[in-house]
Structure 1
Amino acid sequence: MRALVGLCRWRHNPLRRKTDLVEAWVACVAVLLIAVAAPLAGLAIGGASRDALLQSVRDQHKARHEVAGTVIRKVSRPPVDPDPETSSARDRHSRVLAEWTAPDGTAHSGTVVAALRSPDPGDRFRLWTNEHGQVVGRPLDDATASTHAALAGIGAAVAVAGLVEGVRRIAVWRIVLRRYDRWDQAWDRAGPDWGRTGTGS
């Protein structure tokens, strides 16, 4: 808004310099780009990210399968972690020796992390495996994919706005330098006696 006011103010001002008008136009173009290009870039990047992430969700759900595991015994805990955030998250899970049947029908066993606070032998829990029974991470869900895509879109919009503002600042800096150069030239033309040349003093 300030850019538009500045442009209108300088259009008919007799003291207006060419650099003043250029600076006002640069500001107007920057405002227009931030208002239009940044949201469009955010929508485009967010939409493309969402499509790619949802395809990844579909692929993961095809390749990963939820199976039932049976606890054989609890495995001793690793050394105490001083970080309270990771240790509190770990308190809700236990490392156990378990057995499970893969989607292809083969039997497997190994040490896994189970969502059990105090597991006992014979307890059952859910885990994710690939077709061959190897334990894999839980697949991404639609809500998480959409959130990641929205964050990517917001990040793209902010990046475009920052880029436009950065270019505007560089342009204004160059305009100011040029203005200072012209002032120096004008002072050089005025002479060494500050305008008293030819007054007889």
Structure 2
Amino acid sequence: MRAISGLWRWRHNPLCRGTDLAEAWMAFAALLLVLVAAPVVGVLVGSAAQDVLQRSVRAQHQSRHLVTATVVRELDPSPSAADPEGSVGGDPRHRVLAHWTAPDGTERSGPVPTRLEDPRPGAPFRIWTDGHGTTVARPLDTATATTHAVLAGVGAALMAAALVEGFRRLAVRHMLRRRYARWDQAWDKAGPDWGRTGAGS
């Protein structure tokens, strides 16, 4: 708003230089781009991310299966066995040797992490596997995918606004350098006669 009022105030001012007017128009254009173009960029990027992530959610839910495993015995904790999903709400994590039946009917066993409080032999718990019974991470859920898409859109909008403002600042800096160079040239011409009686008369 300040750019608009400043532009209106300067338009018929005899002291207004071309660079002042150009700077005001540039500020006005940058404001419009930040208010209009940046949100549009954010919506487009967020929508594209939402489409890709929701397709990934559907693909993961089709290819991953929740099966029941049975604890054979508890194993020593290993840092490399940590689940990338991490413990939620401070739930204890254990590493156990478990046995389960794959979706294709084959019997499988191996070390898996579990949130069971007391992983006694024979205790059942649920794990995610692919179609062949290999353990996989939990599939992405719809709400998490939507959150990531919203964050991508907001990030893209902020990035677009930052690029517009950065370009405006670079352009204004270039204009200031040219203005100072012209001042130096004018001062070089007037400098030797400055203050001399009768100079220029």
* Same fold at TM > 0.5: yes
Structure 1 residues 175 and 38, CA gap change in structure 2 (3 angstroms): same
Distance (whole Å) between structure 2 residues aligned to residue 44 and residue 31 of structure 1: 20
Structure 1 residues 98 and 13, CA gap change in structure 2 (3 angstroms): same
Structure 1 residues 197 and 167, CA gap change in structure 2 (3 angstroms): farther
User: What is the CA distance between 1:196 and its match in structure 2?
Assistant: 2.6
Distance (whole Å) between structure 2 residues aligned to residue 4 and residue 44 of structure 1: 28
Q: Which runs of 5+ in 2 are unaligned?
A: 80-85
Cross-structure match for 1:55: 55
Distance (whole Å) between structure 2 residues aligned to residue 197 and residue 16 of structure 1: 30
Cross-structure match for 2:182: 182
Cross-structure match for 1:147: 147
User: What is the CA distance between 1:189 and its match in structure 2?
Assistant: 2.2
**Helix, strand or coil for the counterpart of 2:182?**
helix
User: What is the CA distance between 1:78 and its match in structure 2?
Assistant: 3.3
**Helix, strand or coil for the counterpart of 1:185?**
helix
Deviations 1:128-183 (A, max 9, x none): 00000000000000000000000000000000000000000001001111111111
Partners of 1:93 and 1:115 within 8 A in 2:
yes
Cross-structure match for 1:128: 128
Cross-structure match for 1:5: 5
Deviations 1:60-99 (A, max 9, x none): 01110000000011112237xxxxxx78977522100000
Cross-structure match for 2:166: 166
Partners of 1:191 and 1:197 within 8 A in 2:
no
User: What is the CA distance between 1:191 and its match in structure 2?
Assistant: 3.6
Cross-structure match for 2:23: 23
Runs of 4+ off more than 6 Å = 86-90
2:8 aligned partner, one-letter code? C
TM-score scaled by structure 2? 0.91
**Helix, strand or coil for the counterpart of 2:127?**
strand
**Helix, strand or coil for the counterpart of 1:196?**
coil
Structure 1 residues 176 and 70, CA gap change in structure 2 (3 angstroms): same
Distance (whole Å) between structure 1 residues aligned to residue 183 and residue 10 of structure 2: 19
Structure 1 residues 14 and 5, CA gap change in structure 2 (3 angstroms): same
Cross-structure match for 1:83: none
RMSD: 1.9
Structure 1 residues 57 and 160, CA gap change in structure 2 (3 angstroms): same
User: What is the CA distance between 1:43 and its match in structure 2?
Assistant: 0.2
Number of aligned residue pairs: 194
Partners of 2:23 and 2:172 within 8 A in 1:
yes
2:17 aligned partner, one-letter code? R
Distance (whole Å) between structure 1 residues aligned to residue 97 and residue 89 of structure 2: 20
User: What is the CA distance between 1:198 and its match in structure 2?
Assistant: 3.8
**Helix, strand or coil for the counterpart of 2:51?**
helix
Q: Which runs of 5+ in 1 are unaligned?
A: 80-85
2:124 aligned partner, one-letter code? R
**Helix, strand or coil for the counterpart of 1:121?**
coil
Give the share of equivalent positions with the same residue, in percent: 60
TM-score scaled by structure 1? 0.91
User: What is the CA distance between 1:193 and its match in structure 2?
Assistant: 2.9
User: What is the CA distance between 1:185 and its match in structure 2?
Assistant: 1.7
Partners of 2:75 and 2:97 within 8 A in 1:
yes
Cross-structure match for 1:82: none
**Helix, strand or coil for the counterpart of 1:188?**
helix
**Helix, strand or coil for the counterpart of 2:192?**
coil
Cross-structure match for 2:74: 74
